[in-house]
Amino acid sequence: MTAAATPAASPATTGEQPGVRLARSRRNAELSLLLLAMVLVAAYGATVEATMLDTVTPDFWIPAAALSAVFLGLHLVIRFLAPFADPALLPAVALLNGLGVGFLRRLDLDEATPAAREGLAVFAGTGGRQLAWTLVSVILAAGLLVLMRDHRSVSRYAYTLGLAGIVLVMIPAVLPGRFSEINGAKLWIKFGDTFSIQPGEFAKLALLVFFAYYLVRKREVLSLASRRFLGIDFPRGRDLGPVVVVWLISLLVLVFEKDLGTSLLYFGMFVVTLYIATERVSWLIIGLVLFFGGAYLAYVLGDLVGGPFANFYLRAEIWLDPFADPHNDGYQLVQGLLALGTGGLFGAGPGGGQPGLLPEVQNDFIFAGLGEEIGLFGLSALLVIYLLIVERGLRAALAVRDSFGKLVAGGLAFTLGLQVFVIVGGISKLIPLTGQTTPFLSAGGSSLMANWLLIAVLLRVSDGAHRPVTGGGGPARGSGGPPEQLHGAPTEVIRP
Amino acid sequence: MNAPLRRAGIVVMVLFGLLFANLNWIQAYKADEYRNSDYNGRVQVAEYERKRGNIEAGGTALATSKDTGGKLKFLRTYPGGAEYAHVLGYKPVNLAETGIERVEDEFLAGTSDQLIGDRIKDLFTGDQTGGGNVLLSLSKKAQDAAYNQLRNNTLGIKRGAAIAIDPRTGAVQALVSMPSFDPNPLASHDSAKATAAYNELEQDENGPLKNRALGEVLPPGSTFKIVVAAAALENGVGKETKIPAGPSYTAPTSGTPIRNAAASICPEDQVTLMEAVTESCNTGFAQLGVRLGADVIKEKARQFGFEQEDLTVGQLGESGLPVAASRTGDMQNPDGGTDPAALAQSSIGQNNVRMTPLQGAMIAAAVANKDGKQMRPYLVRQLLGPDRTTSYYTAEPRELRQPISGQVAGDLRDMMVSVVENGTGTKARINGYTVGGKTGTAQSAPDRPDHGWFIGFVLDKNGTPISAVCVELEQAGPGGSAEAARIAGKIMQAVVSDPGSR
């Protein structure tokens, strides 16, 4: 409430709405938090070196400094182009990203010969590649902030993005397995042996923009035309069409890409945006029944007929009892659990664990690898940071005035949270394990780029939400202004 | 739209709450279980970080750990190869350890409570003080003799065992099971190699992984006559008392006659007990057994250590290598009534009588001791700290039981000495020492060769016992017991020539 204690910060906020803050840029808070995050990243790197090399090399600060330079660049972009954006988002994400780079570098140290360890170059190995990807991703995020001065301008490309999203989702499913399959899940487009991208990560963004646009247009008919049954308002059959289509797409993903996580993610994303748009609980119920019914059906079919459902059945069986076959089918999950358990409350300390024993520790199991070293306390802190990012995103959605922005920010923030839930729940045997990346931590450019773009959108929406509505810097009309379909948003009371 | 957004926020909080609760479950509640899980490779890596202590005998390291610089830092090596395998066992990366490696695992690894001081010291200094050292009671010379003589036996027998113990203390002087195996491949850090080596040994039809000296029982044949003779001596039969013998004896209820190994053995109607033992007179002992009754013989055997199921050989009073129980088996009808045919067969160590080589050596040891006592056998002489000066344990011999009185022991001693001097065990003789023993030839199965046995002891000029041995050659066929006697003689000679080990 310090904001309220600073009078005359902005002349235009007399009619403050719930969730709409006083216009105050708070960029200095962002800068200090960012520096604090980078100090933590540097300290993490130093601790890793002290544990693994018994000495802290004079160069220990270089990865942290490189990251700091990258993030400071983005900070400057935000300072000039999105001055009213949420100040906690960038530092929180930068901390996760920095720890991810630090942990991947730690894995490189583990694999390097003892002689090569001390001289390990900053851009060498997985950690170095991740550092480079971070640079690329942050430049992309900055680019998006530059190009997209108002989030509403994106809605003009909604159909294009929707089509692109569906194509991106379908490509790996259609491609032969050798071009798209890694570890049993067909989620990739492989270019040779070294380079592969995960189009689903980008499809997530594109589809969400489309959903948001579609739902803003349709929300009235979806929320008003209904039949009452068992005390709950159910939508008309014809309005169910798009939901059924998305449900089918997500089940196709489940069956042909053999990936429950992505499927759950798309479906959860759609159902939640639908619910936010219509405020109808019935959509949630329909969505949950459809999804769990579908998943259970896939499980039963996998048991009875196998074929495309066999993979899902196997994963469910592993989830139910990973120790039934601890050396083969259950190996990954068992090793993940053992790593987490070994870490215990306090962990073995950065660099003190044995991540080499964990398969896919740089990707799916990075959270388990980290958990062994930073313990329950460290993981809880990471979860809190994720939660902070998600809740900040939802806050931006609450504060922004237009329906499209609300749906985009709310949907993206929720999807990010859902993704963390799916992967962390997967490796800790809360839900069946699926091949999702851990946002900002896992090695890999696709995931990092897509998630940074997501953060850029959240930054842009939160900037739009907190930007003074009168005054020189109002919403950039030059980019086309809000599409006319976007009237009727209940919070959109102050119009320039 | 704000209400559902807020609810979405609550849903995310609930989901994260589930994650948090589940992580608590795994990292706090289940942490110990997962940390110590058999599937957890970290346990191994940590274990191999610390140098495991040596296992030594007579100043020679038999098991030692070498720094490899690899991920698993120390490699366990067994310089003695196959010779000590059944005593030391092995310490594999993935499988369970065996032998002394298992019995003294915590002390060797440095995790035993006794070495807690080193661990606390390590916390402050940052060093990794190694584990403790285990000193065995084995005599290197006796073990060499037992291993080499058994392996190069003149009959080319593949399976057998030899064990020598000090009758006065129970210290094991030699322990060999044949065939043996090289434990080094099993300790390999390449788990595929170790598993392949293990599977090969596991599938070997001769069962090299079996410890025949302690863990396997066979019919003892005539060596069991010492037990029957002891029972007779306690029931009014003197060593010069005449007992019925003859070329053949048929028990009242059975048609199969018991004969002697050769026509020249006790064809007379009566022989003295001394003569019956010396010549290994089957007909005499069969009739003696029927006269004494099943209960008397079973009780005597029990007093010698038969039927004991919980004996271990390792550290006195602590755990050790398990010893199979020797059994007298059924000598009666199921209703408890007499079955003279079974009793007659049992009295000459056939029927269902089964014995371990250790039990044979312990019978000989009781006879060799002037007071007729048996000492509890042990392998671990001393536990030395990593500094090699602090002693954490020194074996103090313990009496196990007294199967026979000093007088009976004296009579049996005379008879067994007579066996080596004049009878079936002459190949065990040692110049300048008094050697006593008893041979045994046991039928295994109708179509298989007989097992050859020898149990015996050696006394110095003052009559002080030096060693009691048992050698067993499985399915050795003709000459098996004589070869067993020869090998036993060599082992006893080696003990005699190695006074430092006693």
Contact between A417 and B15 using a beta-carbon 8 Å cutoff: yes
Q: Which residue has the higher pLDDT, B63 or B2?
A: B63
Q: Tokens standing for A68? A: 């700091």
User: Residue B24: which of A276, A376, A390 has the nearest Cβ?
Assistant: A376
The phi, psi pair for B465, rounded to 5°, reads -70, 140
Q: In which band, very low, low, confident or very high, does the pLDDT at A238 lie, cut at 50, 70 and 90?
A: low
Q: Which residue has the higher pLDDT, B130 or A392?
A: A392
CA distance B455 to B163: 10
CA B379 remoteness from chain centre: 10
Burial class (CB in 10 A: 0-12, 13-18, 19+), A65: middle
- B2 contacts in chain A (CB < 8 Å): 18-19, 398, 406, 490-491
Q: Which residue has the higher pLDDT, B118 or A34?
A: A34
Contact between B13 and A387 using a beta-carbon 8 Å cutoff: yes
- B8 contacts in chain A (CB < 8 Å): 272, 275-276, 394, 410, 414
b/e per residue A269-303 (b: at least 16 CB within 10 A): bbbbbbbbbbebebbbebbeebbeebbeebbebbe
Contact between A425 and B41 using a beta-carbon 8 Å cutoff: no
Q: In which band, very low, low, confident or very high, does the pLDDT at B189 lie, cut at 50, 70 and 90?
A: confident
Contact between A397 and B5 using a beta-carbon 8 Å cutoff: yes
Q: Give the position of tokens 């344990």.
A: B393
- B40 contacts in chain A (CB < 8 Å): 338, 341-342
ω before B179 within 30° of 0 (cis)?
yes
Active site includes B501? no
3-class secondary structure, A228? strand
Candidate from A140-149, A218-227, A377-386, B289-298 with smallest mean pLDDT: A218-227
Q: Which residue has the higher pLDDT, A437 or A230?
A: A437
* B463 reaches A (C-beta below 8 A): no
Note the pLDDT tens digit of each residue in A307-324.
767 777 888 888 889 888
B157: left (phi over 0), alpha (psi -120 to 50) or beta: beta
Contact between B1 and A407 using a beta-carbon 8 Å cutoff: yes
- A398 contacts in chain B (CB < 8 Å): 2, 5-6
The pLDDT of residue A471 is 46
Handedness of CA B198, B200, B203, B205 (dihedral sign): negative
* A429 reaches B (C-beta below 8 A): yes
Q: In which band, very low, low, confident or very high, does the pLDDT at B380 lie, cut at 50, 70 and 90?
A: very high
The pLDDT of residue A228 is 67
3-class secondary structure, B25? helix
The alpha carbon of residue B207 is apart from the nearest alpha carbon of chain A, in Å, by 28
Single-letter amino acid, residue B301: A
Note the pLDDT tens digit of each residue in B328-359.
988 877 777 778 888 999 999 988 999 999 99
The alpha carbon of residue A12 is apart from the nearest alpha carbon of chain B, in Å, by 22
* B20 reaches A (C-beta below 8 A): yes
Please give the share of chain A, as a percent, with pLDDT higher than 90.
Answer: 35
The alpha carbon of residue B1 is apart from the nearest alpha carbon of chain A, in Å, by 6
- B27 contacts in chain A (CB < 8 Å): 340-341, 343-345, 371, 375-376, 379
Q: Tokens standing for A210? A: 């489309």
The alpha carbon of residue A218 is apart from the nearest alpha carbon of chain B, in Å, by 14
b/e per residue B238-251 (b: at least 16 CB within 10 A): ebeebbbbbeebbb
DSSP B359-421: HHHHHHHHHHSTT--EEPPBSEEEEE-TTSS-EEEE----EEE--S-HHHHHHHHHHHHHHHH
Of the residues B2, B13, B20, the best mutation for testing chain A's interface (the one with the most A CB atoms within 10 Å of its CB) is: B2
3-class secondary structure, A193? coil
Q: Give the position of tokens 């850090």.
A: B189
| A404, closest residue in chain B (CA to CA) | B1
Q: Which residue has the higher pLDDT, A99 or A233?
A: A99
Rg, Å, chain A Cα set: 23
Q: In the predicted model, is pLDDT for residue A1 greater than 60?
A: no
- A338 contacts in chain B (CB < 8 Å): 34-35, 37, 39-40, 42
Half-sphere exposure (CA, 13 Å, Cβ side) for B255? 0
User: Residue B27: which of A341, A386, A407 has the nearest Cβ?
Assistant: A341
Contact between A335 and B20 using a beta-carbon 8 Å cutoff: no
Q: What is the pTM of this model?
A: 0.64
User: Residue B2: which of A340, A398, A417 has the nearest Cβ?
Assistant: A398
List the catalytic residue out of B222, B280, B326, B347: B222
* B15 reaches A (C-beta below 8 A): yes
* Beta strand pairing call for A232-235 and B55-57: unpaired
Contact between B1 and A489 using a beta-carbon 8 Å cutoff: yes
Contact between B2 and A383 using a beta-carbon 8 Å cutoff: no
Q: Give the position of tokens 């209904």.
A: A226
Q: Which residue has the higher pLDDT, B37 or A64?
A: A64
| A216, closest residue in chain B (CA to CA) | B1
Contact between B34 and A279 using a beta-carbon 8 Å cutoff: no
pLDDT mean over B373-397: 92
- Note the maximum CA span of chain B: 116
Note the pLDDT tens digit of each residue in A166-179.
888 778 777 777 77
The answer to whether the CB of A63 falls within 8 A of the CB of A131 is yes
Burial class (CB in 10 A: 0-12, 13-18, 19+), B213: buried
The alpha carbon of residue B289 is apart from the nearest alpha carbon of chain A, in Å, by 56
* A367 reaches B (C-beta below 8 A): no
The answer to whether the CB of B264 falls within 8 A of the CB of B232 is no
pLDDT mean over A128-149: 93
Q: What share of chain A is helix, strand, coil (3-state, %, to 5)?
A: 65, 5, 30
- Average pLDDT of every residue of chain B: 90
* B16 reaches A (C-beta below 8 A): yes
| B126, closest residue in chain A (CA to CA) | A54
| A430, closest residue in chain B (CA to CA) | B22
User: Residue A430: which of B8, B22, B31 has the nearest Cβ?
Assistant: B22
Q: In which band, very low, low, confident or very high, does the pLDDT at A434 lie, cut at 50, 70 and 90?
A: confident
Contact between A394 and B16 using a beta-carbon 8 Å cutoff: no
- The segment with the largest mean pLDDT, out of A22-36, B93-107, B472-486, is B472-486
CA distance A268 to A157: 23
User: Residue A341: which of B6, B8, B26 has the nearest Cβ?
Assistant: B26
Contact between B45 and A354 using a beta-carbon 8 Å cutoff: yes
Q: Please report, for chain A, the start and end positions of each structural domain, with discontinuous segments joined by +.
A: 155-320
Q: Which domains does chain B have, with CATH numbers?
A: 215-379+398-501 (3.40.710.10)
pLDDT mean over B207-233: 94
Contact between B4 and A375 using a beta-carbon 8 Å cutoff: no
CA distance B17 to B11: 10
* B94 reaches A (C-beta below 8 A): no
CA distance B219 to B48: 43
* A111 reaches B (C-beta below 8 A): no
* B10 reaches A (C-beta below 8 A): no
- A340 contacts in chain B (CB < 8 Å): 23, 26-27, 34
| A269, closest residue in chain B (CA to CA) | B8
Of the residues A323, A342, A400, the best mutation for testing chain B's interface (the one with the most B CB atoms within 10 Å of its CB) is: A342
Single-letter amino acid, residue B362: M
Contact between B26 and A326 using a beta-carbon 8 Å cutoff: no
The phi, psi pair for B87, rounded to 5°, reads -85, -55
A359: left (phi over 0), alpha (psi -120 to 50) or beta: beta
The pLDDT of residue A5 is 42
Q: In which band, very low, low, confident or very high, does the pLDDT at A37 lie, cut at 50, 70 and 90?
A: very high
